[in-house]
A and B are shown apart, each in its own frame.
Chain A
Amino acid sequence: MSISHLSPNSSALEEGAPAMEGSFVSAVQLTKQFGEHKAVNDVSLDVAKGEVISIIGPSGAGKSSLIRCLNLLEVPSSGRLRIGDATVDFDTGTPSKASVRNLRNYTGMVFQSFNLFPHFTALKNVTLPQMRVHRRSKAEAEERAMQELKRVGLESKAGAYPAQCSGGQQQRIAIARALAMDPQLMLFDEPTSGLDPEIGAEILQVMRKLASDNMTMLVVTHEMEFARHVSNQVAVMVEGSIIEQGPPEQIMTAPNNIRTQKFLSAVLGR
Protein backbone atom coordinates (compact mmCIF):
# COMPACT_ATOMS: atom_id res chain seq x y z
CA MET A 1 0.00 0.00 0.00
CA SER A 2 1.48 3.31 -0.98
CA ILE A 3 1.82 6.23 1.36
CA SER A 4 -0.45 8.52 -0.60
CA HIS A 5 -3.34 6.17 0.02
CA LEU A 6 -2.96 6.52 3.73
CA SER A 7 -3.24 10.24 3.55
CA PRO A 8 -6.84 11.16 4.24
CA ASN A 9 -6.12 14.52 2.73
CA SER A 10 -6.74 14.37 -0.97
CA SER A 11 -4.96 17.56 -1.92
CA ALA A 12 -1.71 15.74 -2.57
CA LEU A 13 -3.55 13.58 -5.10
CA GLU A 14 -5.27 16.44 -6.81
CA GLU A 15 -2.00 18.18 -7.40
CA GLY A 16 -0.83 15.15 -9.30
CA ALA A 17 1.73 13.79 -6.91
CA PRO A 18 4.34 11.80 -8.83
CA ALA A 19 3.67 8.09 -9.11
CA MET A 20 4.83 6.19 -6.09
CA GLU A 21 7.64 3.73 -6.55
CA GLY A 22 6.18 0.27 -6.73
CA SER A 23 2.69 1.34 -7.67
CA PHE A 24 1.31 -0.91 -10.36
CA VAL A 25 -1.20 1.54 -11.76
CA SER A 26 -0.47 5.20 -11.82
CA ALA A 27 -2.96 7.66 -13.23
CA VAL A 28 -1.80 11.25 -13.20
CA GLN A 29 -4.13 14.20 -13.60
CA LEU A 30 -6.60 12.37 -15.80
CA THR A 31 -9.36 14.49 -17.24
CA LYS A 32 -12.18 13.27 -19.44
CA GLN A 33 -14.28 15.90 -21.04
CA PHE A 34 -17.59 15.36 -22.84
CA GLY A 35 -18.16 18.63 -24.62
CA GLU A 36 -17.93 21.27 -21.93
CA HIS A 37 -18.55 18.82 -19.12
CA LYS A 38 -15.63 17.29 -17.25
CA ALA A 39 -16.85 13.82 -16.27
CA VAL A 40 -13.42 13.13 -14.81
CA ASN A 41 -11.64 16.19 -13.53
CA ASP A 42 -7.93 16.02 -12.88
CA VAL A 43 -7.94 12.69 -11.07
CA SER A 44 -4.73 11.06 -9.90
CA LEU A 45 -4.76 7.54 -8.56
CA ASP A 46 -2.13 4.97 -7.60
CA VAL A 47 -2.87 1.32 -7.17
CA ALA A 48 -0.38 -1.12 -5.71
CA LYS A 49 -0.14 -4.70 -6.91
CA GLY A 50 -2.75 -6.85 -5.17
CA GLU A 51 -4.67 -3.88 -3.89
CA VAL A 52 -8.46 -3.66 -4.08
CA ILE A 53 -9.88 -0.16 -4.36
CA SER A 54 -13.59 0.51 -4.24
CA ILE A 55 -14.83 3.64 -5.93
CA ILE A 56 -18.04 4.98 -4.48
CA GLY A 57 -20.01 8.14 -5.04
CA PRO A 58 -23.31 9.52 -6.25
CA SER A 59 -24.77 8.87 -9.68
CA GLY A 60 -23.14 10.95 -12.39
CA ALA A 61 -19.98 11.48 -10.34
CA GLY A 62 -17.84 10.06 -13.14
CA LYS A 63 -17.03 6.68 -11.59
CA SER A 64 -17.70 4.73 -14.79
CA SER A 65 -15.91 7.33 -16.87
CA LEU A 66 -12.87 7.03 -14.62
CA ILE A 67 -12.48 3.27 -14.81
CA ARG A 68 -13.28 3.31 -18.53
CA CYS A 69 -10.38 5.74 -18.88
CA LEU A 70 -8.09 3.10 -17.40
CA ASN A 71 -8.61 0.66 -20.28
CA LEU A 72 -9.17 3.40 -22.80
CA LEU A 73 -12.80 2.63 -23.55
CA GLU A 74 -12.86 6.36 -22.98
CA VAL A 75 -9.74 8.13 -24.12
CA PRO A 76 -8.89 10.77 -21.52
CA SER A 77 -8.69 14.33 -22.75
CA SER A 78 -5.51 14.93 -20.82
CA GLY A 79 -3.24 13.36 -18.25
CA ARG A 80 -0.97 10.35 -18.12
CA LEU A 81 -1.52 6.71 -17.35
CA ARG A 82 0.79 3.85 -16.59
CA ILE A 83 -0.18 0.25 -15.96
CA GLY A 84 2.75 -2.09 -15.43
CA ASP A 85 5.19 -1.22 -18.20
CA ALA A 86 2.61 0.34 -20.49
CA THR A 87 2.46 4.10 -20.48
CA VAL A 88 0.28 6.54 -22.38
CA ASP A 89 0.47 10.31 -22.39
CA PHE A 90 -2.81 11.91 -23.40
CA ASP A 91 -1.41 15.41 -23.60
CA THR A 92 0.43 14.50 -26.78
CA GLY A 93 -2.55 13.48 -28.88
CA THR A 94 -4.51 10.27 -29.35
CA PRO A 95 -2.71 7.12 -28.24
CA SER A 96 -1.34 4.78 -30.88
CA LYS A 97 -3.00 1.43 -31.55
CA ALA A 98 0.05 -0.32 -30.13
CA SER A 99 -0.07 1.58 -26.86
CA VAL A 100 -3.79 0.91 -26.51
CA ARG A 101 -3.12 -2.77 -27.09
CA ASN A 102 -0.27 -2.87 -24.55
CA LEU A 103 -2.36 -1.16 -21.91
CA ARG A 104 -5.41 -3.34 -22.46
CA ASN A 105 -3.23 -6.39 -22.23
CA TYR A 106 -2.99 -5.69 -18.51
CA THR A 107 -6.67 -5.15 -17.89
CA GLY A 108 -9.88 -7.11 -17.76
CA MET A 109 -13.28 -5.49 -17.42
CA VAL A 110 -16.64 -6.57 -16.06
CA PHE A 111 -19.67 -4.48 -16.99
CA GLN A 112 -22.97 -3.89 -15.30
CA SER A 113 -24.73 -5.30 -18.36
CA PHE A 114 -22.46 -8.39 -18.71
CA ASN A 115 -22.00 -7.85 -22.46
CA LEU A 116 -21.53 -11.52 -23.28
CA PHE A 117 -21.55 -12.33 -26.99
CA PRO A 118 -25.10 -13.65 -27.44
CA HIS A 119 -24.35 -15.80 -30.49
CA PHE A 120 -21.67 -17.82 -28.69
CA THR A 121 -21.98 -20.44 -25.99
CA ALA A 122 -20.42 -19.70 -22.61
CA LEU A 123 -17.41 -21.79 -23.61
CA LYS A 124 -16.93 -19.98 -26.91
CA ASN A 125 -17.31 -16.61 -25.16
CA VAL A 126 -14.36 -17.51 -22.98
CA THR A 127 -12.38 -19.30 -25.69
CA LEU A 128 -12.55 -17.00 -28.69
CA PRO A 129 -10.79 -13.93 -27.21
CA GLN A 130 -7.92 -16.13 -26.00
CA MET A 131 -7.49 -17.58 -29.47
CA ARG A 132 -7.69 -14.24 -31.26
CA VAL A 133 -5.65 -12.12 -28.86
CA HIS A 134 -3.19 -14.56 -27.29
CA ARG A 135 -3.08 -16.91 -30.28
CA ARG A 136 -3.78 -19.90 -28.06
CA SER A 137 -4.74 -23.11 -29.79
CA LYS A 138 -8.33 -24.24 -29.50
CA ALA A 139 -7.39 -27.03 -27.11
CA GLU A 140 -5.33 -24.72 -24.90
CA ALA A 141 -8.02 -22.05 -24.88
CA GLU A 142 -10.74 -24.55 -24.05
CA GLU A 143 -8.75 -26.07 -21.23
CA ARG A 144 -8.19 -22.64 -19.76
CA ALA A 145 -11.82 -21.67 -20.32
CA MET A 146 -13.01 -24.72 -18.39
CA GLN A 147 -10.67 -23.82 -15.53
CA GLU A 148 -12.09 -20.33 -15.35
CA LEU A 149 -15.69 -21.50 -15.67
CA LYS A 150 -14.97 -23.89 -12.83
CA ARG A 151 -13.52 -21.06 -10.78
CA VAL A 152 -16.82 -19.19 -11.06
CA GLY A 153 -18.79 -22.39 -10.49
CA LEU A 154 -20.26 -22.75 -13.98
CA GLU A 155 -18.57 -25.63 -15.76
CA SER A 156 -22.01 -27.11 -16.22
CA LYS A 157 -23.05 -24.10 -18.32
CA ALA A 158 -20.20 -24.37 -20.82
CA GLY A 159 -22.52 -25.37 -23.64
CA ALA A 160 -25.28 -22.89 -22.86
CA TYR A 161 -25.97 -19.68 -24.72
CA PRO A 162 -26.16 -16.47 -22.68
CA ALA A 163 -29.92 -16.29 -23.19
CA GLN A 164 -30.18 -19.66 -21.49
CA CYS A 165 -28.38 -18.39 -18.39
CA SER A 166 -29.65 -16.22 -15.54
CA GLY A 167 -28.24 -12.75 -15.04
CA GLY A 168 -26.00 -13.91 -12.22
CA GLN A 169 -24.69 -16.78 -14.32
CA GLN A 170 -24.05 -14.46 -17.25
CA GLN A 171 -22.05 -12.14 -15.05
CA ARG A 172 -19.96 -15.02 -13.75
CA ILE A 173 -19.30 -16.17 -17.31
CA ALA A 174 -18.25 -12.61 -18.12
CA ILE A 175 -15.81 -12.71 -15.20
CA ALA A 176 -14.43 -16.03 -16.43
CA ARG A 177 -14.04 -14.56 -19.92
CA ALA A 178 -12.03 -11.65 -18.55
CA LEU A 179 -9.88 -13.83 -16.28
CA ALA A 180 -8.94 -16.22 -19.06
CA MET A 181 -7.05 -13.35 -20.69
CA ASP A 182 -4.57 -13.21 -17.77
CA PRO A 183 -5.34 -9.65 -16.70
CA GLN A 184 -3.23 -8.13 -13.95
CA LEU A 185 -5.82 -5.49 -13.17
CA MET A 186 -9.53 -6.18 -13.03
CA LEU A 187 -11.96 -3.32 -13.52
CA PHE A 188 -15.52 -3.79 -12.29
CA ASP A 189 -18.24 -1.28 -13.12
CA GLU A 190 -21.16 -1.96 -10.79
CA PRO A 191 -21.10 -5.69 -11.52
CA THR A 192 -24.07 -6.43 -9.26
CA SER A 193 -26.30 -3.44 -9.91
CA GLY A 194 -28.48 -5.16 -12.47
CA LEU A 195 -29.09 -8.17 -10.27
CA ASP A 196 -31.29 -9.22 -7.35
CA PRO A 197 -29.47 -8.90 -4.02
CA GLU A 198 -29.13 -12.68 -3.49
CA ILE A 199 -27.76 -13.12 -6.99
CA GLY A 200 -25.47 -10.14 -6.52
CA ALA A 201 -24.11 -11.90 -3.45
CA GLU A 202 -22.90 -14.78 -5.66
CA ILE A 203 -20.97 -12.32 -7.77
CA LEU A 204 -19.52 -10.60 -4.73
CA GLN A 205 -18.43 -14.01 -3.45
CA VAL A 206 -16.52 -14.64 -6.67
CA MET A 207 -14.92 -11.19 -6.40
CA ARG A 208 -14.00 -11.77 -2.79
CA LYS A 209 -12.22 -14.98 -3.77
CA LEU A 210 -10.44 -13.11 -6.53
CA ALA A 211 -9.29 -10.47 -4.06
CA SER A 212 -7.97 -13.13 -1.71
CA ASP A 213 -6.04 -14.59 -4.66
CA ASN A 214 -4.26 -11.22 -4.79
CA MET A 215 -5.86 -9.85 -7.93
CA THR A 216 -5.47 -6.10 -8.26
CA MET A 217 -8.98 -4.70 -8.55
CA LEU A 218 -10.75 -1.43 -9.07
CA VAL A 219 -14.42 -1.78 -8.24
CA VAL A 220 -17.11 0.81 -8.84
CA THR A 221 -19.83 -0.28 -6.47
CA HIS A 222 -22.84 0.66 -4.42
CA GLU A 223 -22.27 -2.37 -2.20
CA MET A 224 -21.05 -0.72 0.98
CA GLU A 225 -20.47 -4.08 2.67
CA PHE A 226 -18.10 -5.10 -0.11
CA ALA A 227 -16.36 -1.73 -0.08
CA ARG A 228 -15.91 -1.99 3.65
CA HIS A 229 -14.84 -5.59 4.07
CA VAL A 230 -13.06 -6.54 0.90
CA SER A 231 -11.28 -3.44 -0.33
CA ASN A 232 -8.04 -2.05 1.07
CA GLN A 233 -8.95 1.44 -0.01
CA VAL A 234 -12.14 3.34 -0.67
CA ALA A 235 -12.12 6.31 -3.01
CA VAL A 236 -15.04 8.70 -2.93
CA MET A 237 -15.83 10.42 -6.18
CA VAL A 238 -18.03 13.48 -6.51
CA GLU A 239 -18.47 15.70 -9.57
CA GLY A 240 -15.52 14.25 -11.42
CA SER A 241 -13.03 14.37 -8.56
CA ILE A 242 -11.82 11.94 -5.95
CA ILE A 243 -12.62 14.03 -2.91
CA GLU A 244 -11.39 11.56 -0.37
CA GLN A 245 -9.54 8.27 -0.29
CA GLY A 246 -8.45 6.05 2.55
CA PRO A 247 -8.86 2.77 4.40
CA PRO A 248 -12.50 1.63 4.43
CA GLU A 249 -12.97 1.88 8.18
CA GLN A 250 -11.83 5.46 8.22
CA ILE A 251 -13.92 6.50 5.22
CA MET A 252 -17.02 4.70 6.48
CA THR A 253 -16.84 5.72 10.11
CA ALA A 254 -14.88 8.95 10.17
CA PRO A 255 -14.92 10.66 6.80
CA ASN A 256 -13.17 14.00 6.65
CA ASN A 257 -15.01 15.53 3.76
CA ILE A 258 -18.46 16.91 4.38
CA ARG A 259 -19.60 15.65 0.97
CA THR A 260 -18.47 12.14 1.83
CA GLN A 261 -20.50 12.36 5.02
CA LYS A 262 -23.54 13.50 3.06
CA PHE A 263 -23.16 10.75 0.49
CA LEU A 264 -22.69 8.03 3.10
CA SER A 265 -25.60 9.16 5.21
CA ALA A 266 -27.76 9.05 2.09
CA VAL A 267 -26.75 5.51 1.08
CA LEU A 268 -26.42 4.05 4.55
CA GLY A 269 -29.54 5.79 5.76
CA ARG A 270 -28.08 7.22 8.89
Chain B
Amino acid sequence: MFEIFAYIARGAGWTIVMTFGSAAIGIVLGLPLLVLAESKFALIRGIYNSIVHVIRGVPTLVWLFISFFGVGQLGITLSPVTASLLTLSIIATAYMSEIYRGGMKAIPAGQWEAAGALNLDRWSTLRFVIGPQLFRAVSPSVATQIIGLLKDSALVSTIGVADLVFRAGIMTQYHAHGLYMFGIAGAVYLLLSLPIAVFSRTVHTRITRRYAVA
Protein backbone atom coordinates (compact mmCIF):
# COMPACT_ATOMS: atom_id res chain seq x y z
CA MET B 1 0.00 0.00 0.00
CA PHE B 2 2.65 2.49 1.03
CA GLU B 3 4.80 1.42 -1.92
CA ILE B 4 2.05 2.36 -4.33
CA PHE B 5 1.68 5.76 -2.68
CA ALA B 6 5.43 6.31 -2.75
CA TYR B 7 5.63 5.28 -6.39
CA ILE B 8 3.00 7.79 -7.43
CA ALA B 9 4.28 10.56 -5.16
CA ARG B 10 7.71 10.29 -6.75
CA GLY B 11 6.05 11.65 -9.89
CA ALA B 12 5.84 14.94 -8.02
CA GLY B 13 9.48 15.39 -9.00
CA TRP B 14 8.68 15.93 -12.69
CA THR B 15 5.50 17.80 -11.86
CA ILE B 16 7.52 20.25 -9.79
CA VAL B 17 10.26 20.56 -12.40
CA MET B 18 7.71 21.23 -15.15
CA THR B 19 5.65 23.67 -13.10
CA PHE B 20 8.33 25.72 -11.43
CA GLY B 21 10.81 25.41 -14.28
CA SER B 22 8.37 26.87 -16.77
CA ALA B 23 7.06 29.38 -14.21
CA ALA B 24 10.57 30.64 -13.49
CA ILE B 25 11.38 30.96 -17.18
CA GLY B 26 8.07 32.70 -17.83
CA ILE B 27 8.51 35.10 -14.91
CA VAL B 28 11.96 36.09 -16.16
CA LEU B 29 11.41 36.11 -19.94
CA GLY B 30 8.03 37.81 -19.61
CA LEU B 31 9.79 40.98 -18.50
CA PRO B 32 11.84 41.71 -21.63
CA LEU B 33 8.75 40.87 -23.70
CA LEU B 34 7.08 43.79 -21.97
CA VAL B 35 9.43 46.03 -23.94
CA LEU B 36 7.87 44.70 -27.15
CA ALA B 37 4.34 44.86 -25.75
CA GLU B 38 4.80 48.52 -24.80
CA SER B 39 6.86 49.50 -27.82
CA LYS B 40 6.10 52.85 -29.36
CA PHE B 41 6.18 51.20 -32.78
CA ALA B 42 2.78 49.84 -33.78
CA LEU B 43 4.41 47.14 -35.92
CA ILE B 44 6.34 45.68 -33.00
CA ARG B 45 3.25 45.78 -30.79
CA GLY B 46 1.32 44.10 -33.60
CA ILE B 47 3.86 41.30 -33.91
CA TYR B 48 3.89 40.82 -30.16
CA ASN B 49 0.09 40.75 -29.99
CA SER B 50 -0.21 38.18 -32.76
CA ILE B 51 2.39 35.89 -31.25
CA VAL B 52 0.78 36.03 -27.82
CA HIS B 53 -2.63 35.48 -29.37
CA VAL B 54 -1.46 32.39 -31.24
CA ILE B 55 0.33 30.95 -28.21
CA ARG B 56 -2.67 31.44 -25.94
CA GLY B 57 -5.30 30.55 -28.52
CA VAL B 58 -4.08 26.99 -29.18
CA PRO B 59 -4.67 24.37 -26.45
CA THR B 60 -1.61 23.46 -24.42
CA LEU B 61 -2.05 19.83 -25.37
CA VAL B 62 -1.84 20.68 -29.07
CA TRP B 63 1.37 22.67 -28.53
CA LEU B 64 2.76 19.75 -26.60
CA PHE B 65 2.03 17.36 -29.46
CA ILE B 66 3.39 19.81 -32.02
CA SER B 67 6.71 20.11 -30.22
CA PHE B 68 6.98 16.40 -29.49
CA PHE B 69 5.60 14.76 -32.64
CA GLY B 70 5.57 17.67 -35.08
CA VAL B 71 9.02 19.14 -34.62
CA GLY B 72 10.44 15.63 -35.07
CA GLN B 73 9.40 15.79 -38.71
CA LEU B 74 11.66 18.80 -39.16
CA GLY B 75 14.58 16.62 -38.18
CA ILE B 76 14.95 17.85 -34.61
CA THR B 77 14.03 15.22 -32.07
CA LEU B 78 13.09 16.48 -28.65
CA SER B 79 12.93 14.19 -25.64
CA PRO B 80 9.59 14.18 -23.80
CA VAL B 81 11.10 16.22 -20.97
CA THR B 82 12.64 18.81 -23.30
CA ALA B 83 9.52 19.09 -25.41
CA SER B 84 7.37 19.50 -22.29
CA LEU B 85 9.56 22.06 -20.60
CA LEU B 86 9.94 24.03 -23.82
CA THR B 87 6.21 24.08 -24.48
CA LEU B 88 5.16 24.99 -20.96
CA SER B 89 7.86 27.67 -20.76
CA ILE B 90 6.77 29.37 -23.96
CA ILE B 91 3.17 29.34 -22.83
CA ALA B 92 4.10 30.57 -19.36
CA THR B 93 6.14 33.40 -20.88
CA ALA B 94 3.20 34.57 -22.99
CA TYR B 95 0.87 34.55 -20.01
CA MET B 96 3.33 36.24 -17.65
CA SER B 97 4.08 39.04 -20.07
CA GLU B 98 0.35 39.68 -20.45
CA ILE B 99 0.05 39.76 -16.66
CA TYR B 100 2.92 42.26 -16.52
CA ARG B 101 1.28 44.34 -19.20
CA GLY B 102 -1.93 44.48 -17.15
CA GLY B 103 0.10 45.35 -14.05
CA MET B 104 1.80 48.23 -15.86
CA LYS B 105 -1.60 49.66 -16.71
CA ALA B 106 -2.45 49.66 -13.01
CA ILE B 107 0.47 51.98 -12.23
CA PRO B 108 -0.72 55.59 -12.54
CA ALA B 109 1.00 57.82 -15.09
CA GLY B 110 1.77 60.16 -12.19
CA GLN B 111 4.35 57.71 -10.88
CA TRP B 112 6.37 57.96 -14.11
CA GLU B 113 5.89 61.70 -14.16
CA ALA B 114 7.05 62.17 -10.57
CA ALA B 115 10.11 60.04 -11.27
CA GLY B 116 10.81 62.05 -14.43
CA ALA B 117 10.32 65.38 -12.68
CA LEU B 118 12.76 64.27 -9.97
CA ASN B 119 15.26 63.49 -12.73
CA LEU B 120 15.51 59.79 -11.92
CA ASP B 121 17.09 57.95 -14.83
CA ARG B 122 15.29 55.14 -16.59
CA TRP B 123 16.98 52.36 -14.68
CA SER B 124 16.31 53.92 -11.25
CA THR B 125 12.71 54.56 -12.22
CA LEU B 126 12.17 50.95 -13.21
CA ARG B 127 14.17 49.47 -10.37
CA PHE B 128 12.89 51.58 -7.47
CA VAL B 129 9.60 53.13 -8.51
CA ILE B 130 7.86 50.97 -11.11
CA GLY B 131 9.31 47.53 -10.39
CA PRO B 132 8.19 47.22 -6.76
CA GLN B 133 4.72 48.48 -7.60
CA LEU B 134 4.51 46.13 -10.55
CA PHE B 135 5.56 43.21 -8.35
CA ARG B 136 2.81 44.03 -5.87
CA ALA B 137 0.26 44.52 -8.62
CA VAL B 138 0.95 41.23 -10.38
CA SER B 139 1.80 38.83 -7.58
CA PRO B 140 -1.78 37.52 -7.10
CA SER B 141 -2.17 36.88 -10.84
CA VAL B 142 1.27 35.33 -11.07
CA ALA B 143 0.38 32.95 -8.23
CA THR B 144 -2.87 32.03 -9.97
CA GLN B 145 -0.93 31.45 -13.17
CA ILE B 146 1.56 29.16 -11.42
CA ILE B 147 -1.29 27.09 -10.05
CA GLY B 148 -2.65 26.95 -13.61
CA LEU B 149 0.73 25.70 -14.83
CA LEU B 150 0.78 23.10 -12.08
CA LYS B 151 -2.49 21.71 -13.39
CA ASP B 152 -1.47 22.04 -17.04
CA SER B 153 1.71 20.15 -16.30
CA ALA B 154 -0.44 17.00 -16.00
CA LEU B 155 -0.61 17.06 -19.81
CA VAL B 156 3.06 16.08 -20.07
CA SER B 157 2.06 12.58 -18.99
CA THR B 158 0.53 12.12 -22.46
CA ILE B 159 3.95 12.18 -24.11
CA GLY B 160 5.56 9.99 -21.51
CA VAL B 161 7.01 12.20 -18.82
CA ALA B 162 6.74 10.23 -15.59
CA ASP B 163 4.87 12.82 -13.55
CA LEU B 164 2.10 12.26 -10.99
CA VAL B 165 -0.58 11.46 -13.54
CA PHE B 166 1.67 9.20 -15.58
CA ARG B 167 2.57 7.14 -12.54
CA ALA B 168 -0.99 7.01 -11.27
CA GLY B 169 -1.91 5.69 -14.75
CA ILE B 170 0.72 2.95 -14.58
CA MET B 171 -0.44 1.86 -11.13
CA THR B 172 -4.02 1.74 -12.41
CA GLN B 173 -2.96 -0.51 -15.26
CA TYR B 174 -1.27 -2.92 -12.85
CA HIS B 175 -3.65 -2.91 -9.92
CA ALA B 176 -6.89 -1.29 -11.15
CA HIS B 177 -8.31 0.85 -8.27
CA GLY B 178 -8.21 3.95 -10.51
CA LEU B 179 -10.15 5.99 -7.98
CA TYR B 180 -7.51 5.38 -5.35
CA MET B 181 -4.53 5.91 -7.67
CA PHE B 182 -5.74 9.16 -9.20
CA GLY B 183 -7.04 10.25 -5.81
CA ILE B 184 -3.48 10.09 -4.56
CA ALA B 185 -2.28 12.11 -7.56
CA GLY B 186 -5.02 14.69 -7.00
CA ALA B 187 -4.12 15.02 -3.33
CA VAL B 188 -0.49 15.63 -4.16
CA TYR B 189 -1.50 18.36 -6.65
CA LEU B 190 -3.52 20.05 -3.93
CA LEU B 191 -0.61 19.77 -1.55
CA LEU B 192 1.72 21.38 -4.09
CA SER B 193 -0.64 24.26 -4.78
CA LEU B 194 -0.88 25.06 -1.09
CA PRO B 195 2.45 26.87 -0.65
CA ILE B 196 1.78 28.96 -3.77
CA ALA B 197 -1.56 30.10 -2.41
CA VAL B 198 -0.07 30.80 1.02
CA PHE B 199 2.78 32.79 -0.50
CA SER B 200 0.36 34.83 -2.55
CA ARG B 201 -1.85 35.50 0.46
CA THR B 202 1.13 36.59 2.57
CA VAL B 203 2.39 39.01 -0.05
CA HIS B 204 -1.11 40.36 -0.48
CA THR B 205 -1.75 41.02 3.21
CA ARG B 206 1.69 42.59 3.63
CA ILE B 207 0.84 45.03 0.86
CA THR B 208 -2.69 45.88 1.91
CA ARG B 209 -1.57 46.51 5.45
CA ARG B 210 0.56 49.36 4.14
CA TYR B 211 -1.51 50.63 1.26
CA ALA B 212 -5.07 50.39 2.39
CA VAL B 213 -4.91 52.51 5.51
CA ALA B 214 -6.58 55.93 5.25
Q: Which residues of A contact B (CB under 8 A)?
A: 71-73, 101, 104-105, 107-109, 111, 113-119, 128-129, 132-133, 161, 163-166, 174, 177-178, 181, 187
Q: Is B118 an interface residue (CB 8 A)?
A: yes
Known contacts A104-B116, A119-B132: A161-B121 contact under CB 8 Å: no
- Partner-binding segment picked from B21-29, B107-115, B170-178: B107-115
Between A and B, 29 residue pairs with Cβ closer than 8 Å are: A71-B116, A72-B116, A73-B113, A73-B117, A104-B116, A104-B117, A104-B119, A109-B117, A115-B111, A117-B114, A117-B129, A118-B133, A119-B136, A119-B210, A128-B128, A129-B118, A129-B120, A132-B121, A132-B124, A132-B128, A133-B118, A133-B119, A133-B120, A133-B124, A163-B212, A163-B213, A177-B118, A178-B118, A187-B117
Interface residues as binary, B190-214 with A (CB distance below 8 Å gives 1, 0 otherwise): 0000000000000000000011111
A113 and B109 CA atoms in complex are apart in Å by 11
| 11 more A-B residue pairs beyond the given contacts A117-B128, A163-B213, A187-B117, with a C-beta to C-beta distance below 8 A | A71-B116, A72-B116, A73-B116, A104-B119, A105-B119, A109-B114, A111-B113, A113-B110, A117-B133, A132-B128, A165-B214
Q: Is the pair A161, B211 in contact by a Cβ cutoff of 8 Å?
A: yes
A174 and B122 CA atoms in complex are apart in Å by 20
Known contacts A161-B211, A163-B211: A115-B114 contact under CB 8 Å: yes
A162 to chain B, nearest CB (A): 8
Instruction: List, in ascending order, chain A residues with CB within 8 A of B117's CB.
Output: 71, 73, 104, 107-109, 111, 178, 187
Q: Is the pair B114, A163 in contact by a Cβ cutoff of 8 Å?
A: no
Instruction: List, in ascending order, chain A residues with CB within 8 A of B124's CB.
Output: 132-133
A161 and B206 CA atoms in complex are apart in Å by 13
Instruction: List, in ascending order, chain B residues with CB within 8 A of A101's CB.
Output: 119, 121
Known contacts A73-B113, A132-B128: A118-B211 contact under CB 8 Å: yes
8 A-B pairs with the lowest CB-CB distances in the bound complex, closest first? A115-B114, A115-B110, A109-B117, A129-B118, A132-B124, A104-B119, A164-B213, A133-B119
For B, the interface residue count at a CB cutoff of 8 angstroms equals 22
Chain A residue at minimum C-beta to C-beta distance from B123: A132
A174 and B211 CA atoms in complex are apart in Å by 17
Q: Which residues of B contact A (CB under 8 A)?
A: 108, 110-111, 113-114, 116-121, 124, 128-129, 132-133, 136, 210-214
A119 to chain B, nearest CB (A): 5
Q: Is the pair A181, B213 in contact by a Cβ cutoff of 8 Å?
A: no
Q: Is the pair B120, A111 in contact by a Cβ cutoff of 8 Å?
A: no
A181 and B118 CA atoms in complex are apart in Å by 7
A60 to chain B, nearest CB (A): 19
Among A114, A128, A174, A181, the one with the most B-chain Cβ atoms within 10 Å of its Cβ is A128
Instruction: List, in ascending order, chain B residues with CB within 8 A of A105's CB.
Output: 119
A25 to chain B, nearest CB (A): 16
Which residue of A104, A109, A133, A166 contacts B214 across the interface (Cβ within 8 Å)? A166
Chain A residue at minimum C-beta to C-beta distance from B127: A132
Q: Is the pair B211, A111 in contact by a Cβ cutoff of 8 Å?
A: no
Chain A residue at minimum C-beta to C-beta distance from B125: A132
